[in-house]
Amino acid sequence: MERRRHFHKMSLAGFWIVLLGCLALCHAAPTIAPTVSPEEQDLAEAYLSSFYGDVGMTNSSVRRLAKSSFNLDLQAMQAFFGLEITGVLNNETVEVMKAPRCGVSDISRYGHFHGKPKWRKTLITYSITQYTPDLTQSQVDTAIGQAFQLYSDVTPLNFKQIYSGTADIMILFKGGSHGDFYPFDGRGGVLAHANSPGQGQGGDTHFDEDETWTLTQRGVNLLLVAAHEFGHALGLDHSRDRRALMYPTYQYVNTNGYKLPDDDRRGVQALYGSRTPVPTAASTPTPDPDPEDPTDKPDPLPNPRDEQCSRDLVFDAATSIRRDLYFFKNGYYWRKNARGIRLTKVSTIWPQINVVDAAFEVPRERTVYLFEGRQYWGISSYSKRMMSGYPKSITSLGLPSSVSKVDAAVYVVSTGKTLIFVNNQYWSYDESRSRMDSGYPRFITQDFPGIGSKVDAAFENYGYLYFSDGSRQTEYYLQSKRVNRVLLNYGWLNCY
């Protein structure tokens, strides 16, 4: 499982949800009058919204209504940093929030990502595709090489810079939008981010060019930030040890003779083991494996787990089921909720179904409909059991017999209509009258300008419709018929 990690002004994620249950029982928040300015309150709300809200929850007014969520998130942050756990924003908490840091969930001691992803080979290549003008190219190469060497000194891993082609870890310096799902936010906010190990974009690391990159105490020290991000690229999560490199808050330390702190060394060695002693002159050295040798690459898995954080991820179908989001791919589905993401094979839950082509939920009916080929099934959204009388032919919905499969479907709560997409056209099914509306099919481009001519998957979330065409996804506001933003599918799967 690939995750994106980044430095930011004080941020957490939902990893503290178990701890919060204890906090709610053990710490009654005293009544304390806020002592912060409206601007600082807005800053805190924006920060918590950005790093705690689900992908796609862009409506700030919706989020601000969830005061209890704000207070719980605030309690988690205060607990981690040893502040008084009040759930109330105060000056001390704001000061900690303003410290530059890596914006990701924080855990005790060294930590690994869920599933402990790691590289399955000992020689890892990297390539710097875009440099910062703050330093010479030679200085950047040296600092990046030193950052990798911190890990090669204590593990069997070796790192090699290449200057053409695709490396295991692709590195660039660029500000703002830079070709992935998470644009940088200017100086002093997010400093850098990296993906955890995996195929495709696994390990890729980006640095915000709006920062001033240095090799000293002034500005942002490239060696320290790079070493932190490469920890993520190798599979390390954050540490609660304040002396650790993987502690989330950025702080300068003297880099002369810098070695990997003990906590980080134990964490990376738990994944890769210790480095063997250097062989003597009489020993026969073992050559590094060829980075182009296909036998040195990870074996493909029989499910889409390796694709989870690929920028090229294409969904077969998507839907909500009782506020959880389900994303279907190759006979599996990812279920996303507040507890995280879980990958499950479709046939283990619904034995009659092999691959889901399309899916939609009608909340008022407490029913989910799953399509495969020319058939579809009704599923209870509460029990997840198949309903009697299914499967039915898709022609029973009013689709012509020439349609062999449905590409996507979505129920629109505000209209009571289900939109059914096939190739470059769509139908509108009236759920209240249980029949297809007249005048259909219509061309997708005619009624949904900007989303493309084909829809592979569609679902509704917090008032927005999300249409996927290949790996590209459009967030669409139906009432004004406008595109709000363009996303990539993998961003929904906690690939930060």
Q: Which DSSP helix (H) or strand (E) runs through 161?
A: strand 158-161
Q: Is 194 left (phi over 0), alpha (psi -120 to 50) or beta?
A: beta
Q: Are 398 and 389 in contact (CB under 8 A)?
A: no
Element (H, E) at 148: helix 137-152
Concatenating the DSSP letter of every residue in 245-269 gives TTSSB------TT----HHHHHHHH
Rounded Cα–Cα distance for residues 169 and 194 (Å): 9
Rounded distance between C-alpha atoms, residue 186 and residue 191, angstroms = 9
Query: Can you tell me the distance from the alpha carbon of 439 to that of 378, in angstroms, rounded to the nearest whole number?
Result: 26
The token pair at 247 is: 């502690």
* Strand-pair partners of 326: 319, 335
333 contacts 356 by C-beta, under 8 angstroms: yes
Sort residue 32 into left (φ over 0), alpha (ψ -120 to 50) or beta. Answer: beta
391: preceding bond cis by omega (within 30 degrees): yes
Determine the distance from the C-alpha atom of residue 359 to the mean position of all C-alpha atoms in its chain, rounded to a whole number: 23
CA distance 453 to 309: 25
Say whether 229 is catalytic: yes
The half-sphere exposure of 343 on its side-chain side, counting CA atoms within 13 A, is: 18
Beta-ladder partners of 130: 172
What gap in Å lies between CA 168 and CA 344, rounded to an integer? 28
Which contacts qualify for 131-136: CB closer than 8 Å, 24 or more apart? 131/173, 132/173, 132/207, 132/209, 132/213, 132/222, 134/212, 134/213, 134/214, 134/219, 135/213, 135/214, 135/215, 135/222
Catalytically annotated residue among 40, 209, 229, 372: 229
Measured between alpha carbons, how far apart are the two ends of the chain, in Å? 11
The radius of gyration computed from the CA coordinates of the chain, to the nearest angstrom, equals 25
The residues annotated with a catalytic role in the active site are 229
